[in-house]
Amino acid sequence: PEKAVAAMARQAPESLAELNRLIQRSEPLVPGATQAVLGEGPEGAAIAIVGEQPGDHEDREGRPFVGPAGQLLTAALEEAGVDRGGLYLTNAVKHFKFVQRGKRRIHQSPTAGEVKHYRWWLMTELGFVRPRLVVALGATAALALSGRPVSVLRERGPMAFDGWNGFVTVHPSYLLRLPGDEERRRAQAEFVADLRRAAALA
Ligand code: URA
């Protein structure tokens, strides 16, 4: 065990840049991703937002939240009066997991084991950013941050995560998938209200 601890200490990055180099050099747990998608935003941001994993667009562009879910998030933040540029945005899992169907790459949710595999990186990353509040978007982020399964619709709102002031809300992809226009509008308004409430806590 002493050797293992020494090996860990040697690996422990001393900066976010060094951590990011480790992440970039790592193999995806599930093969196929183009690249690791790193967190983005200023160190010392008051709020960190944690998503699930990069999607198809994020995997190609190498930036978090640039696809349809990211666009919805950006619009909701704007409506809530929160400047996206001042936030730190990242994901619980750093590689896109998918199945190929013809030309399309269909998103696959990470397993609990995969989330656990990436958890050390996420926690180390947050340790460098030191936000006042960590917002989990959806169940995967909430699992990664709390270490237990979370029912997002029942438990949405403030939640203490392993040493961080946290807040749980839905994932924007969930909003994109809601079938009825009316239902989607209502759920989006609730999402904006959550973001506004979270920002007031930070
Ligand atoms: N969904 C996520 O959870 N993260 C992204 O970066 C993009 C889509």
CATH of domain 2-201: 3.40.470.10
Q: Could you read off the pLDDT of 140-193 as tens digits, one per residue?
A: 999 999 999 999 999 999 999 988 999 999 999 999 999 999 999 999 999 999
Classify residue 120 as left (phi > 0), alpha (psi -120 to 50) or beta.
alpha
As beta bridge partners, residue 107 has: 98
Secondary structure element (H or E) that encloses residue 98, with its range: strand 98-101
CB 90 within 8 A of CB 50: yes
**What pLDDT sits at residue 57?**
98
Q: Which of 35, 40, 49, 53 should be mutated for ligand 1, with most atoms under 8 A from CB? A: 53
| Ligand 1 pocket list (CB less than 6 A) | 51-55, 58, 64-65, 67, 69-70, 91, 173
Three-class SS state of 106: strand
Give the closest residue (by CA) to ligand 1 atom 7.
65
Q: Could you read off the pLDDT of 93-132 as tens digits, one per residue?
A: 999 999 999 999 999 999 999 999 999 999 999 999 999 9
DSSP 21: H
- How high is the ipTM of this complex? 0.92
Residue 133, token pair as written in the block: 């509040």
Domain boundaries, the chain: 2-201
Classify residue 68 as left (phi > 0), alpha (psi -120 to 50) or beta.
alpha
Q: Could you read off the pLDDT of 81-94 as tens digits, one per residue?
A: 999 999 999 999 99
CB 160 within 8 A of CB 166: yes
